[in-house]
Structure 1
């Protein structure tokens, strides 16, 4: 737990941040434990690996073409309804872990995205109440293999989205009551060169609308991760080269931190 620029050990409260922790009021319990002096500062935190800030999500749900400019660079009009696809949950890695390029992958792409972590089950909820089901927000990268996604998926996208390490998350899960998801700057760089630079204000469907729509068809469970779409500026646009081994992908969202991943051959 990061508070006042210090890292605290959450083990007196929970072994890990997962769906059960979030559904059981875990954020409030962690804050109370910190206020009561029950959490010890982590020594040498800067030397430790940072894992994904939510453990074992049951589902990673993703939204396609949710920024009009990105839809245009993909050759499509903005959708009339949210486009849903799934990544395998075992794609999730930490914010500074390597992105491993699978054998045969030649069109590896980055996608900076606002991630939403569900805190309480949401089934057919109204948009006005949708954000009540959010535990927090994080930075996500919907890593994609475009040839597998577009030419080899039979009309679905998940083949190009589901290789191991294709979903770096973090560095932090920021509680929902500390974030306004409607106006966050979101950006990416590849090996120091700027790529994406936009705002969540440009989403076709904002977070509350996405949760309300998806919950008509899917019961969203605590710990599920929703990736809300990417702005323009990806390699698929033809303006930039696809990722090569050794490239460094940096993705950030104001108030949610920055992740940094190096691409390596698997």
Structure 2
């Protein structure tokens, strides 16, 4: 007769405390990786700087008062959306796939660390990185390139919910996507092209109105297009909504499509993540 010994689940407060400590650990570990910092955290800032300097003499339209919209003002919302995607989907997909490949996840699975605490650490890291990244992008756009920020409280409320929903969705999809690479070494070859293609077809580097209609329809299936559209609704003048698909910012659509991807990501995580223990 064999006896199975199981570790009792930790109290909720202890699980949360461990999760919060993991956020600090994950964030510190992230900033020790120079390549990750450049290609996910600083990359949107680099692209914003390049576009702002390269097109410094180009007007991207005018606002309600007839003032020219600069390249920095035009690309700021797109870079904010891209930053969310890179800090969430790309960062977590690469990080977790690597941890699976080098045995880190297996070792954690044999430790008392609950799965919930592990996920709190990963998702919390994404929120910390996204907040710092957004603050840096807005600060540079304002202080270096003279971009005027919105003054209406409604605009900042829109920014808050688009940002929070976008970060949550990107983080969850990153966890789900980490199951796709067969090995940690192949993770970059799988994940980075996906993130890059999404940026090009979602109105990040190219104006969305420049894309053929069929490609706009394809991009509309994915959340990045809607996150970028939500950010443009915050930072661009109202007249620019005519350039969007359907001629409107369609903020309800931003919320619905992004939320649907969040739900899809949660289901995919539940089905594909393999570190699952009864005591977690």
Pairwise TM-score range, normalised by the shorter structure: under 0.3
Of Structure 1 and Structure 2, the greater helix share is in: 2
Of Structure 1 and Structure 2, the greater strand share is in: 1
- TM-score norm. by structure 2 comes to 0.27
- TM-score norm. by structure 1 comes to 0.28
